[in-house]
Amino acid sequence: MDRLQGNVSGPTWREIFTDLSDFPMEQSDWQDLRAHWKRLAGPTAAASVYSVADGGRGAGALEDLVKERLSRAREAFPRVVAEWEDRWHGDLAQAAPGRRRDWAAGRMALLRVFEELSETLRTGPEPRSEAHSLPFSLTHSGGQALALGSTWSEGLLGVGVDLETAGRMISPRLAVRLVADPEEAALVQATVTGAREPEEALGALDLWVLKEAAYKAQPASRGTTLPQYMLRAWSWERPGQWGLARLQGPRPEVRFEAALGRLQGWVVALAVARTGGIR
């Protein structure tokens, strides 16, 4: 049996998730988000959202649900789940009591990503052999969790996502510290002076989510800081709604391609890290 084929007699991913409710996001926003993610990460890319309010479950009930779904998923894909399971439980052990519900919601979103990738996992080429082999990223904000995943493709080094409520305020002091590079400062200023409408200017929250997503996509990002992830190109695809960016991080051989979306009540950034540096 191929190591990713799964057990023929085990449950399918669809069967594991039949009773889960949908995330309360505008359908058009969700379609846009998924389309931009597949454009960045490739046709096998998957995305999922989960609300901590889904089913009215508390933290303990959500944790139990995650464990139960992991057990069922392990029957279908024992090797894949085993590679990720230690990391999940390690994260749970370190989660602060007030964050355990968010943790569980994030893992439910991630399990939904597994569902979407199931056919690729069963039939596609074998990914990298090291533990935690599939690229994925998680984010939580305002009681919602968003997970992204993909299979490996040529040049792909990692993926990242950040989601924030649209009303989150970034202090002026922090906003100044976010942009420490003159070239980046000039690019950001150009979006302000060249804006035909106020919403076409990039704000501090936009920069925050873009840099956070790039930071998460960067392999071995520990020890780096958000100002080191510098905006190098920006264009609106739909002014005030969706834009595309390129960023340069602390490693010159790595480039970041990203999409920024302003949704109903949310600001989201999706990013991939690739080999080759800025073009």
- In the predicted model, is pLDDT for residue 36 greater than 90? yes
Strand partners, 84: none
Strand partners, 82: none
Examine residue 27 and state whether it is found in any structural domain, yes or no: yes
Q: Are residues 18 and 147 in the same domain?
A: yes
Examine residue 214 and state whether it is found in any structural domain, yes or no: yes
Examine residue 69 and state whether it is found in any structural domain, yes or no: yes
- In the predicted model, is pLDDT for residue 7 greater than 50? no
Domain boundary, last residue among 121, 153, 185? 153
Examine residue 1 and state whether it is found in any structural domain, yes or no: no
Which residue do the tokens 């993610």 mark? 37
Reported as a pLDDT band with limits 50, 70 and 90, residue 17 is: very low
Q: Kindly state the average pLDDT of the residues 46-71.
A: 70
Contact status, residue 276 vs residue 253, Cβ threshold 8 Å? yes
Q: Are residues 117 and 215 in the same domain?
A: no
- In the predicted model, is pLDDT for residue 50 greater than 50? yes
Give, in degrees to the nearest 5, the angle at Cα 245 between 242 and 246.
Answer: 165
Reported as a pLDDT band with limits 50, 70 and 90, residue 220 is: confident
Q: Are residues 83 and 36 in the same domain?
A: yes
pLDDT attached to residue 108: 79
Which residues touch 75 (CB under 8 Å, ≥6 apart)? 7, 10, 11
Q: Are residues 38 and 116 in the same domain?
A: yes
Examine residue 158 and state whether it is found in any structural domain, yes or no: no
Here the CATH number for the domain that contains residue 101 is: 3.90.470
Q: Are residues 247 and 270 in the same domain?
A: yes
Pairing of strands 46-51, 156-165: unpaired
Of 249, 245, 247, 254, the closest CA to residue 277 belongs to 254
What six digits make up the tokens of 62?
């959500």
- What value does the mean pLDDT of the chain take? 79
Q: What is the pTM of this model?
A: 0.83
Q: Are residues 147 and 215 in the same domain?
A: no
Q: Are residues 179 and 52 in the same domain?
A: no
Examine residue 32 and state whether it is found in any structural domain, yes or no: yes
Q: Are residues 134 and 184 in the same domain?
A: no
Q: Which comes out higher in pLDDT, residue 8 or 200?
A: 200
Q: Are residues 71 and 185 in the same domain?
A: no
% residues pLDDT > 70 (the chain): 71
What six digits make up the tokens of 74?
């392990």
Domain boundary, last residue among 122, 153, 184? 153
User: Among the listed ranges 6-10, 19-23, 221-225, which one has the minimum average pLDDT value?
Assistant: 6-10
Examine residue 97 and state whether it is found in any structural domain, yes or no: yes
Q: Are residues 185 and 253 in the same domain?
A: yes
User: Among the listed ranges 73-77, 200-204, 241-245, which one has the minimum average pLDDT value?
Assistant: 73-77
- In the predicted model, is pLDDT for residue 90 greater than 80? no
* pLDDT tens track for 181-198: 999 999 999 999 998 898
Q: Are residues 122 and 175 in the same domain?
A: no
Q: Which residues of 148-157 are buried (b: 16+ CB within 10 A; e: fewer)?
A: bbbbbeeebb
Q: Are residues 269 and 226 in the same domain?
A: yes
- For the four alpha carbons of 210, 213, 243 and 235, in that order, the dihedral sign comes to positive
Domain boundary, last residue among 153, 175, 203? 153
What six digits make up the tokens of 237?
């695809």
pLDDT attached to residue 133: 64
- In the predicted model, is pLDDT for residue 272 greater than 50? yes
Reported as a pLDDT band with limits 50, 70 and 90, residue 21 is: very low
Reported as a pLDDT band with limits 50, 70 and 90, residue 113 is: confident
- Write out the DSSP string of the chain: --TTT--TTSPPHHHHTTTPPPP---HHHHHHHHHHHHHHH-TT-EEEEEETTGGG--HHHHHHHHHHHHHHHHHH-HHHHHHHHHHHHHHHHHS-GGGHHHHHHHHHHHHHHHHHHHHHHHHS----SSSS-S-EEEEEETTEEEEEE----TTEEEEEEEEEETTPPPPHHHHHHH---HHHHHHHHHHHHT-SSGGGS--HHHHHHHHHHHHHHSTT-TT--GGGSEEEEEEEEETTTEEEEEEE-SSTTEEEEEEEEEETTEEEEEEEEEET---
Query: Which residue range forms the structural domain that includes residue 241?
Result: 163-275
Which residue do the tokens 């305020």 mark? 169
Domain count, the chain: 2
pLDDT attached to residue 47: 87
